[in-house]
Structure 1
Amino acid sequence: MELRHLRYFQTVAQELNVTRAAEKLHMAQPPLSRQIRQFEEEVGVALFDRVGRGLKLTEAGRFLLDQSLQLTQRLEETLDGTRRIGRNEKRWFGIGFVPSVLYGVLPELIRELRGDDSQVEVGLTEMITVQQLEALKSGRIDLAFGRLALNDPAIVQQVVMAEPLVAAMPMSAPPLDSPLDAEALARQPLILYPARPRPSYADHVLSLFRAQGLQPRVVQEANELQTALGLVAAGLGLTLVPASVQRLHRDDVRYVPIEVPGFVSPVIMSYRAGDGSPYLARAVDWVMRQGKA
């Protein structure tokens, strides 16, 4: 499948008339009709219903049009940024992050970086810590924020802060008179995230229980923080989240303190060893000053 085939489909889907679409694409109608038929065969489902001399999108066609327009818009933005960087009008600075840091230091850093230098394009990519290290080494990103310490001589890792963990529980659960201790936590049904890939924050949570000589009762695994909170709201169990996640207010979830020494989750900043970029140095310095504040 080529990008031009997707553009042919989008034009026909918006015009719902092959003749008008062909005119708009500056091509003849018969080849466009062939391209659309071949595109449907490649996708494997009908995208159009032929109604008389006109066309109507099938449900699958409506879905593909909506999703593909978002993709091509993002592609255009990416190409535009690439051209600016290629013309030395802007420099690219990529940041990888785990979702939970969106409720802590990361939003402030993004505002700082974007306001600090208009000649730098800041790109954000959600990825777990293991993926971050590979992306740093390949040059796809320049700075990363995760929650897992990994030993790699090509990467520098610095702990920005250690966040206390809290238990996210369904709002319908009976109120507690005191913070949860380790044994009380181990008795509760636990929703663990992310389920994959591993190692990840999930392994960190399991290691905290092992350090207390306890085995948690894992009843469900989820791939995303938001999914885990949704399962909590549905009453399947509780999940352990960094305290900053409490800024994500939900009417169906409440957060309960945990009173267990060491039940914390570090925010770990990672970057390439030997990277002498002044922009990276400014970013690292700003983050570490915030962590000490």
Structure 2
Amino acid sequence: MDLRQLRYFVAVARERNFTRAAQLLNIAQPPLSRQIQSLEEELGVALLTRDSRPIRLTEAGRLFYEQSLQVLGRVEQMRTATRRVGLNQNAILSIGFVASTLYERLPSLVRKLRQHAPELEIQLLEMVSVQQIPALKEGRIDIGFGRLHHNDPNVIGVVLHEEGLIVAIPKSTPFAQETRPLPVTALTGQKLIVYPKEPRPGYADHVLNLVHGHDVQLAEVQEVREIQTALGLVAADAGLCIIPSSARQMRADVHYRALEGERATSPIILYHRVGDNSHFVDLVRELTREMYAENSP
């Protein structure tokens, strides 16, 4: 087994088609098929079900695909890190984040990181929670800050804080005449704007599950791509929107009320790879613990 075979298998697993995978790899299809078959013979198990269209992964194939992504991602990290050390360049820490964490503690964390590790080059990449898990396994990011629980055994998720949710309300509506918390059940019959429209699952599903968990029947649900669009529609009197409380600073031309109800919170979760013993990953975990301990919401 070698890295070339892993790359070949990952390409086939992603494309679910030998012809397309061969085109992407710029090789002929017969040698690609032979390499995958050789890999299966070495492992002693079938990785692909070839009698279906598109090709499907077996249970063993799914496990091998996940592990292959980690190996290839780690190799790329090793290559990049070694090259940077050889060229006397700074180490890089790539952080994925969902946009709403910019209104919570992420900016403070980045400042503290730069104070504690001035030699570190920090890259910030915006991506929704569901995109961060494969990005971690493929080595495209080292740390993630998201809001979605997951069950991937290769990625650790540490809940840093359960942030309260609030309702953004058009100032012209009766709901805007009060400031006390609004029960989830009060949303019955209302038009709700949710985000992001895609990819799913995501924060939109968290909000809809919360509402449906209280047996609330909405008049309509409108899905949009970004929180900025959602709040703009609220300001235009197009409906209500449930957002994390820290994001209320985004617009001043709408009214905000805390959402009252069981599980009316959104977690802020720190993601990192299982077995990643990097000093900088440990530093991020230590700094985040200190930040929340010093100023517990």
Structure 1's 130 and 282: CA in aligned 2 closer, same or farther, altered over 3 A?
same
**After the TM superposition, which residues 103-142 of structure 1 pair with which residues of structure 2 at under 5 Å, given as runs?**
103-142=103-142
Q: What per-residue deviation string (whole Å, max 9, x for no partner) do you get for residues 233-278 of structure 1?
A: 1111010001111232x23212112221221001011000000001
Q: Paired residues, what number?
A: 212
Query: Which structure 1 segments of 5+ residues have no match?
Result: 1-81
The match for 1:213 among 215, 221, 234 is 215
How much has 1:213 moved relative to structure 2? 2.2
**After the TM superposition, which residues 278-289 of structure 1 pair with which residues of structure 2 at under 5 Å, given as runs?**
278-289=279-290
Contact 2:189 2:217 in 1 (8 A): no
Q: What per-residue deviation string (whole Å, max 9, x for no partner) do you get for residues 73-103 of structure 1?
A: xxxxxxxxx9866613200100001111000
Contact 2:136 2:143 in 1 (8 A): yes
> Is 1:192 equivalent to 2:186 in the alignment?
no
- Taking structure 1 as the reference length, the TM-score comes to 0.68
Contact 2:196 2:223 in 1 (8 A): yes
Question: 2:89 aligns to what SS in structure 1?
Answer: coil
**After the TM superposition, which residues 29-108 of structure 1 pair with which residues of structure 2 at under 5 Å, given as runs?**
87-108=87-108
**After the TM superposition, which residues 23-34 of structure 1 pair with which residues of structure 2 at under 5 Å, given as runs?**
none
Q: What is the alpha-carbon distance in structure 1 between the residues aligned to residue 190 and residue 290 of structure 2? A: 38
Structure 1's 86 and 189: CA in aligned 2 closer, same or farther, altered over 3 A?
farther
- Aligned equivalent of 2:244: 242
- Taking structure 2 as the reference length, the TM-score comes to 0.67
Q: What per-residue deviation string (whole Å, max 9, x for no partner) do you get for residues 57-81 of structure 1?
A: xxxxxxxxxxxxxxxxxxxxxxxxx
Q: What is the alpha-carbon distance in structure 1 between the residues aligned to residue 192 and residue 86 of structure 2? A: 49
Q: Which amino acid aligns with 2:212?
A: R
Question: 1:187 aligns to what SS in structure 2?
Answer: coil
Q: What is the alpha-carbon distance in structure 2 between the residues aligned to residue 238 and residue 112 of structure 1? A: 36
Q: What is the alpha-carbon distance in structure 1 between the residues aligned to residue 123 and residue 169 of structure 2? A: 34
Contact 2:168 2:256 in 1 (8 A): yes
Structure 1's 85 and 217: CA in aligned 2 closer, same or farther, altered over 3 A?
farther
Q: Which amino acid aligns with 2:163?
A: E
Q: What is the alpha-carbon distance in structure 1 between the residues aligned to residue 234 and residue 187 of structure 2? A: 14
Structure 1's 85 and 190: CA in aligned 2 closer, same or farther, altered over 3 A?
farther
Question: 2:182 aligns to what SS in structure 1?
Answer: coil
RMSD (Å), alpha carbons: 2.0
How much has 1:186 moved relative to structure 2? 2.8
Q: What is the alpha-carbon distance in structure 2 between the residues aligned to residue 258 and residue 197 of structure 1? A: 25
Question: 1:92 aligns to what SS in structure 2?
Answer: strand
Q: Which amino acid aligns with 2:104?
A: G
Contact 1:188 1:238 in 2 (8 A): yes
Contact 1:192 1:222 in 2 (8 A): yes
How much has 1:111 moved relative to structure 2? 0.7
How much has 1:183 moved relative to structure 2? 1.7
Q: What per-residue deviation string (whole Å, max 9, x for no partner) do you get for residues 184-242 of structure 1?
A: 12322100100101000011111112221223343311111111111111111010001
Q: What is the alpha-carbon distance in structure 1 between the residues aligned to residue 172 and residue 219 of structure 2? A: 20
